[in-house]
Copies of this chain bind each other. A is one copy, B any other.
Amino acid sequence: MVRRDEFDLISGVFAPLARRHPAALNLADDAAVLPPPPDGQHTVVSVDTVVAGVHFLQADPADLVARKALRVNLSDMAAMGAEPVGVFLSMALSPAEDDAWLDRFIAGLDADLGTYGIGLLGGDTVSTPGPACFTVTILGHVPPDAYLSRGGGTVGDDVWVSGTLGDGALGLKLLTGALRMEEPDMAAFLADRYRVPRPRVDLGLALRRVASAALDISDGLVADLGHMCLASGCGARVDAARVPLSDAARRCLGDDPTWRDLPLTGGDDYELVFAAPPGRAASVQEIGVRLGLPLTRIGCLVAGQGVTLVSEDGTPRPLGTAGWRHHW
């Protein structure tokens, strides 16, 4: 295996990426040093780890692995209404990741740092005999008291979601061979939705002081909306028929009832689910038009607890599996 050592990696590979932000100190020191955020803003920090074979497939292209690791964290910034500033990348690399793999990983990272206008501020590189493990720590800024939380929802608020749901989970089923579809374009669309999430950073920024509560859908709509209910001290009623589907997802689900719950319970969508008072519905719709992103009202917050799914006729719409409380 050809593998650069840690010092060559830092000076040759990471330092050029770190030039995007002065706080990285060119990765020449033990830590990054960040000046206070402008205008008294607060700093929002989140950490996520992805493991080869667990959160991505060992055969996934390395550039897409990097972009997913980054985008999962950007999605946390979106959920908080924060403007992303920069990331720290800690990598535990196994013998499976040689220099060629790493070059492709770095290319993907570099591309997305550019796409989202953020810096690589620091990190760590170690070796592991086990599967590779990537931990991204992300920092962002938000004005005082403007961050979106899970706990701000009130009974009577509308519940909205961005984009379409189930695409990521269906994409994973396609990639692992559990599901097949004949239309290559649609299959490619779904696989891409699994591999390269679209963190809704601009939507998070637009929802500051519009949404009462928000989070991103990583564990599935029912699970994540359940978190909002728990934090907000209420329940939610969701009209399952209103949950927005892509054409590709509709095509998959039309053929086979096996996966009909995936838009409700499948993870990896990284869309936002948020609550807003009914009086702000017009503002929400304007934001959707401005961003070119479908925003769909799927239900409302209600007294009680937990998420209740109903069919179009108002009758309960039970899930096929209990599946929303997952073991890790």
Give the interface of A toward B (CB within 8 A).
Answer: 3, 5-7, 25, 28-37, 40-51, 53-55, 76-77, 79-80, 82, 88-92, 94, 121-131, 133, 135, 137, 139-140, 142, 144, 147, 149-151, 215-216, 231, 325-328
Contacts and interface: CB of A to CB of B under 8 A. Distances in A.
A121 to B, nearest CB: 7
A128 B31 CA distance: 28
Given A51-B92, A131-B130, A32 B6 contact: no
A128 B139 CA distance: 25
Contacts of A130: 51, 94, 128-131, 133
Contact of A46 (B30, B131, B215, B325): B30
A285 to B, nearest CB: 25
Contact of A133 (B47, B128, B215): B128
Given A33-B44, A34-B42, A45-B139, 10 more contacts: A6-B326, A31-B44, A31-B140, A32-B44, A32-B45, A45-B137, A47-B88, A55-B126, A129-B131, A135-B135
23 contacts: A3-B327, A6-B326, A6-B327, A29-B151, A30-B76, A30-B79, A30-B150, A30-B215, A31-B80, A33-B42, A33-B43, A33-B44, A33-B142, A35-B144, A36-B36, A36-B37, A47-B90, A47-B137, A49-B124, A51-B128, A94-B130, A130-B130, A137-B137
B76 A31 contact: yes
A288 B47 CA distance: 37
Contacts of A36: 36-37, 40-43
B131 A28 contact: no
Contacts of A30: 46, 76, 79-80, 150, 215-216
User: What are the nearest 6 A-B pairs in CB distance?
Assistant: A130-B130, A31-B46, A135-B135, A30-B79, A137-B137, A47-B88
Nearest to A130: B130
B80 A149 contact: no
A47 to B, nearest CB: 4
Residue from A35, A45, A216, A231 whose CB has the most chain B CB atoms within 10 Å? A45
A54 B126 contact: yes
A34 B131 CA distance: 33
A128 B149 CA distance: 29
